[in-house]
Structures are given as structure tokens and as C-alpha cells.
Structure 1
Amino acid sequence: MKKAITCLLLAAGLTGHLSAQIPVQSQSDKNSGKVIRMDKQMFLDNIFDYTSGSTDWKYKGEKPAVIDFYATWCGPCRMVAPLLKSLAKEYQDQIIVYKVDTDKQKELSADMGIQSLPTIIFIPKTGQPQIIVGAANKATFRKAIEEVLLKE
């Protein structure tokens, strides 16, 4: 299952989620500009429900997303955290930034095939997700956001 989900993330095209006609405040609107802690249920609700048996990747988000898989004991993860927090604020109206504590969300991390930390997944509304494994500088993350998430 891990490899299947990872393959879906890396190789499948994403399709946008049609939002409801009635305007409601979404999770991303309430937390605009903040990094949101994500658990398995939130992933299933907001990103992709891989438990449904569907092998067809369908991104559920309204905005492109960045997901940081990290651990509190991980030095490179601690270096990346303030960069992602700053970028979440900088791009608050354009993207949503999540973080997943791999020690607390072992099942989700295993299901996603996370083997190295930090692992940052960039999920555009359409197109293929991209992954950065390991720490990177702010310019690298900004380039990934501009070229992967905001490229139309």
C-alpha cells in the first residue's frame, strides 16, 4: 500500500476539487498564513482518501498545499520549520502549509512511504506532486512554490 500511495503522489496527475456553491469558511481560510498540524483524518478529508479503495488520485484541496513530514528530534526538520512558517505567511492567500509529526502519525507516515526526514511534498491543484527530501534553504522552497504550486 505504501508504494502504491507514493507512486500515486509522484506519478499521477491531480485534479481540482469543485467547491460548493455556498461560500463557507474552509480550514485553509481559518488558518490562512499559518502552518497547520495534520493528522491522518485531516489528510483523508483534505488531501486524498487513500482508504476508499480508489487508485485514482484526486486532490481534494482548494489551494495548492505543502506537507512537511517531520520529527521533533530531527535537527534538519527544526531548521526547516521556521522557513515554512515564514513562507506560509508570505503565500497565505495562495497556498496552505501542513506539517505531520511522523512520531505521532506513524500510520499516515508509513502509508505515505516516508523514509527520510524532513520530507516535504508540494501538491499543486493540477499536475504532479514534487518532493524534497532533506533540509533546503528558503530560496529553494520559494522556487518550488513558484514553479510547482503557482505555475499556471
Structure 2
Amino acid sequence: MTDLQIVDTTNFDQVVLAGDKPVLVDFWAQWCPPCHQIVPILAQIAVERKDQLTVVKLNSDENPEISSRYRVMALPTLMLFHRGELIWSVVGARPKAKLLKELDDALLAAV
């Protein structure tokens, strides 16, 4: 689907919660059209912000325990983790400029 790193139950805690920089997790599913729409935006952000942010994907259908742990009820859901804590989340696809603004605001608030 994309070159973004995939996380699942085997590596979520290590990659996301113990990551050395903020991690944006894309909770998605194969059947979800908006999930596919947001992929190019997330891929661009992953490249453009690689020094300050890690972007990963988690298939909610294949990893229901993680989706349940974070109460993911709709897709796509984007969650930003920093130092092992959930600091921001949003449901639904959005334009790149709006997403970057929201991410930047969340990161500034977390510092």
C-alpha cells in the first residue's frame, strides 16, 4: 500500500511507545476508502518530517487489541504519540496543510 513502516502487536510498543521521536500512527483498514486517500499525504509527511517524526501504519482489522486499547471507533484514525503517551488524535482524512498545522500545534503543546 505504501512504503510507510507497518506496526502490529509484535512491535507496536517498541516502535511507537518507546520511539526516540514522536510517532504518528495511522489506524486503517483495507476496506476504508478515506484510509487509501490519506496514504499519499502521510507518505509525503514521512519523508518531509523524517528528522522530527516517524509515521507508521497499523491495520485495525488485523490488530483489534491495539485498536481497542486506544478506543479506535472509526477509520482512518491518526494518533500522535510522544514519549510513550498519546498526545493527539483525529478521525478522518484531511488536507495536508490542515494535518500539518494540527500536528505542529500538538507537538508544540507537548514540549
**TM-score bracket for the superposition, by shorter chain length:** 0.7 to 0.9
The one of 90, 98, 111 aligned to 1:140:
98
Q: 1:93 to 1:112 in 2, by over 3 A?
A: same
Q: CA deviation at 1:40?
A: 1.3
The one of 15, 24, 35 aligned to 2:4:
35
Q: CA deviation at 1:105?
A: 1.2
Question: Percent of aligned positions with the same letter in both sequences?
Answer: 31
Query: For the residues of structure 1 that align with 2:78 and 2:31, how far apart are their CA atoms?
Result: 17
- What SS does structure 2 have at the residue aligned with 1:79? helix
| Unmatched runs of 5 consecutive residues or more in structure 2 | none
Q: Once superposed, what is the RMSD of the aligned Cα atoms? A: 2.0
The answer to whether the Cα contact below 8 Å between 1:123 and 1:149 also exists between their aligned partners in 2 is no
Correspondence for 1:81: 39
- What SS does structure 2 have at the residue aligned with 1:129? strand
Q: Aligned ranges for residues 17-32 of structure 1 at < 5 Å? A: none
The answer to whether the Cα contact below 8 Å between 1:66 and 1:96 also exists between their aligned partners in 2 is yes
The answer to whether the Cα contact below 8 Å between 1:64 and 1:94 also exists between their aligned partners in 2 is yes
Query: For the residues of structure 1 that align with 2:100 and 2:32, how far apart are their CA atoms?
Result: 22
In the superposition, the TM-score normalised over structure 2's length comes to 0.85
- What SS does structure 1 have at the residue aligned with 2:71? coil
Number of aligned pairs?
108
Larger radius of gyration: 1
Once the two structures are superposed, residues 32-64 of structure 1 have per-residue CA deviations (whole angstroms, 9 ceiling, x without a partner) of xx521000121122334xxxxxxxxxxx22111
The answer to whether the Cα contact below 8 Å between 1:88 and 1:97 also exists between their aligned partners in 2 is yes
Q: Residue 61 of structure 1 aligns to which amino acid in structure 2?
A: G
| Unmatched runs of 5 consecutive residues or more in structure 1 | 1-33, 49-59
- What SS does structure 2 have at the residue aligned with 1:40? coil
Q: Aligned ranges for residues 3-152 of structure 1 at < 5 Å? A: 35-48=4-17, 60-125=18-83, 129-149=87-107, 152=111
Query: For the residues of structure 1 that align with 2:14 and 2:85, how far apart are their CA atoms?
Result: 20
